[in-house]
Amino acid sequence: GQNIDQPTEMTATEGAIVQINCTYQTSGFNGLFWYQQHAGEAPTFLSYNVLDGLEEKGRFSSFLSRSKGYSYLLLKELQMKDSASYLCAVTLAGSYQLTFGKGTKLSVIP
Amino acid sequence: DTEVTQTPKHLVMGMTNKKSLKCEQHMGHRAMYWYKQKAKKPPELMFVYSYEKLSINESVPSRFSPECPNSSLLNLHLHALQPEDSALYLCASSSGLVRTDTQYFGPGTRLTVL
């Protein structure tokens, strides 16, 4: 089976930096996605990591360590609109299936 | 353009009704997906269509019936649903060239079963 773990909730201050961690235990791991989901809306693609290392996209960066089964999403210069749930999801080699973690609800406060 | 559209946005139906959810994409994607998402839970995969053929059915009850009339359209036919089927139903698509390609989600249909 697969096990994906991320914190349930986090709070951070506007303008600050926050790191959301995700650990996973799967066999046949292929890659890891991060999605943002505002309440009542669809998940929006943020990043995809297949190889070890850091991928940077503007204020958002995502890191993957395949050997440690670990990823994080780093959000810089937090804005109020970043308040949302952040879902990490893994894919297995040769599979269409996207398996989500339970999501981390981030609250950005003034 | 990474747009997936879904209609209707909201749907309220009784347990004896028959209704359909529709999903459309014009990105040339050949893989399309239905997910179900309950409040404060992650999306759960229901069905995957690849090149208009049903590729995955995650043991979904027969009261949910998917259909892929062509490469741009995906329907979900609903019949004799239960109140516990109330959820956000999300459609997604991906290129289909590689199974692990990025999935792009539509805005969802919020379904309430009375």
Decide: B21 and B6 in contact? Cβ < 8 Å. yes
Give B1's pLDDT tier (boundaries 50, 70, 90): low
Write out pLDDT tens, residues B77-112: 999 999 999 999 999 999 988 888 999 999 999 999
Secondary structure letter of residue B41 according to DSSP = S
Query: What residue in A sits closest to B5 (Cα-Cα)?
Result: A42
Q: If you search the block for the tokens 């609903």, which residue do you land on? A: B78
Query: Is the Cβ pair A42, B90 closer than 8 Å?
Result: yes
pLDDT (tens digit, 0 to 9) for every residue of chain A, 110 residues total?
Answer: 679 999 999 999 999 999 999 999 998 999 999 999 999 888 999 999 999 999 999 999 999 999 999 999 999 999 999 999 999 999 998 888 899 999 999 999 99
As a whole number of Å, the end-to-end CA separation of chain A is 41
Contacts of B57 in chain A (CB under 8 A): none
pLDDT at A40: 86
> Which residues have CB under 8 Å from A87's CB, separation 6+?
A34, A35, A36, A37, A43, A100, A101, A103, A104, B42, B43
Query: Is the Cβ pair A97, B43 closer than 8 Å?
Result: no
Tell me which residue in B42, B56, B105 faces A42 most closely, judged by beta carbons: B105
pLDDT at B109: 97
- By CB neighbour count within 10 A (0-12 exposed, 13-18 middle, 19+ buried), where does A60 fall? middle
A1 vs B62, more confident? B62
Nearest C-alpha of chain B: how many angstroms from A85? 9
- B64 in reach of chain A (CB within 8 A): no
